[in-house]
Amino acid sequence: MLSKSLVIFVGIGIISGLLFGIYLIDVKNTSQLVYVEGSGISILTEKFDFKKGEEIKITIMNTGTVPISFSDASYGLRITGLSGMLMYSPTSTQVLSELKPNEEVTFSWDQINNDGDSALEGLYKISAKGFDENGEKVERSTTITIWK
């Protein structure tokens, strides 16, 4: 016969695991694409967890109703460690780029940092920054994990 406290603790563990799983599904999988009235951008990746050395496709999409301008051809794309240290930014020309509403641009990252080294396992923040027609900053980021 099982003790009453064991049954209670196992029951609480099952319920909290279920609630945490629902939270992760709702927050982690739907926070990439958000449509808004006004200015807004979203960063999309095909998944959140990548194997070391796997190509990562990153899509920057204008999910607002006004055009977004960027200061270069990289559309403000930056990949940093969670500490904020820049790991990768695409080489680009200094030309004014624009994304109209519902337009998108896709980049690929082969997990090679700007210094030529392979990215280490861990968490990385992918961000993009542009400006709306009023000169207000529009920025969005998402987090990915690189595993062995």
Residue 30 scores a pLDDT above 50: no
Residue 61 scores a pLDDT above 90: yes
pLDDT of residue 33: 75
CATH code of the domain in which 96 resides:
2.60.40.1930
Domains identified in the chain, total number: 2
The domain in which residue 58 lies consists of 35-147
- Give the model confidence (pLDDT) of 114-138 as tens digits: 999 999 999 999 999 999 999 999 9
pLDDT tier at 25 (50, 70, 90 boundaries)?
low
Please indicate, yes or no, whether residues 24 and 54 belong to a single structural domain of this protein: no
Strand partners, 51: 147
Please indicate, yes or no, whether residues 83 and 115 belong to a single structural domain of this protein: yes
Please indicate, yes or no, whether residues 103 and 116 belong to a single structural domain of this protein: yes
User: CA-CA distance, 61 to 146, in Å (whole number)?
Assistant: 23
Please indicate, yes or no, whether residues 3 and 68 belong to a single structural domain of this protein: no
What are the backbone angles phi and psi of residue 60, rounded to the nearest 5°? -105, 125
What's the sign of the alpha-carbon dihedral 27, 124, 49, 11?
Answer: negative
pLDDT of residue 9: 87
Please indicate, yes or no, whether residues 104 and 142 belong to a single structural domain of this protein: yes
Please indicate, yes or no, whether residues 60 and 82 belong to a single structural domain of this protein: yes
User: What strands lie across the sheet with 41-45, from one edge to the other?
Assistant: 41-45, 56-62, 104-109
Please indicate, yes or no, whether residues 82 and 15 belong to a single structural domain of this protein: no
